[in-house]
Amino acid sequence: MKNGLCIDTSNQPMSIAVFIDSDLAAEMTINIKRNHSVQLMPNVDYLLQQVGLKPKALDQIVVAEGPGSFTGIRIGMTTAKSLAWSLNIPVKTISSLELVASSLLYQNGLVCPFFDARRGNVYTGLYRVSEGQIERVEDDCNIEMRSWLEKINQYGEKVFFISPNGNQFKEQVEQQGVYVNQPFQLPRASLLWTLSQEKDETPIHLVKPNYHRITEAEANLEKQNGEGSTHE
């Protein structure tokens, strides 16, 4: 039985959960535009205090690795790695898209989580859920939404579309499947624990964000080197 801390700051919602003896003890999700760097650690401290758990009693940290907001992902990842390093405990990472898809674990069928990546593009993937289990069908990617919808339409199945920030695509996806409304759109950090239990631990020095596109700084460097770039 383990005590754990779970963190997701990869998009506007910030979600934190604390587990004691592998049972959910507390969870907090805040869905307002605030700086995660300001609110994450105070709320981690608050939740730990509420359940009477000292940081040194933690056995494991699970963090959403992205894709999503570059800044948000870095904040969650840096916090998780710093805590794990100081406490000498392992870290596990979970796709932020898989986390959102897992809100529908007890549906049966295809689930398409997606985040707005701007200019008609999305970060997305395709998963199959059944009786509490989730399986990746199409790898997470950064793609034009129109092209993505054409691709998954070939499966010929009803698809549940879920996103915490993709309302501008609502009309498009409702023509092809079911658009899941709040509160099921929002990530729940407690599900990170569920998803992580059969995954391997990642050595702290190898834990890194999964952006699914290069950063603006990297794109500018490519241009300076004359390589060009097709990334946004």
pLDDT score for 227: 46
pLDDT over 90, % of the chain: 82
Do the domains spanning 4-96+187-224 and 97-179 agree at the CATH topology level? yes
Domain residue ranges of the chain, discontinuous segments joined by +: 4-96+187-224, 97-179
* Nearest-5° Cα angle at 138, 178 to 150: 55
- Note if the pTM is more than 0.85: yes
167 pLDDT above the threshold of 80: yes
Alpha-carbon distance values, 79 to 67, 130, 135, 208 (Å): 17, 33, 28, 12
Structurally, at CATH architecture level, domain 97-179 sits in: 2-Layer Sandwich (3.30)
Q: What is the pLDDT of residues 168-227, one digit of tens each?
A: 899 999 999 999 998 899 999 999 999 998 888 888 888 899 998 644 444 444 455 554
Mean pLDDT over 61-73 rounds to: 96
Mean pLDDT over 42-60 rounds to: 98
pLDDT score for 221: 44
Query: At the fourth CATH level, which superfamily is domain 4-96+187-224?
Result: ATPase, nucleotide binding domain (3.30.420.40)
Name 47's bridge partners: none
CA proximity to 76, closest of 62, 60, 57: 62
Q: In what order do the strands lie in the sheet with 14-20?
A: 23-30, 14-20, 4-8, 60-64, 91-94
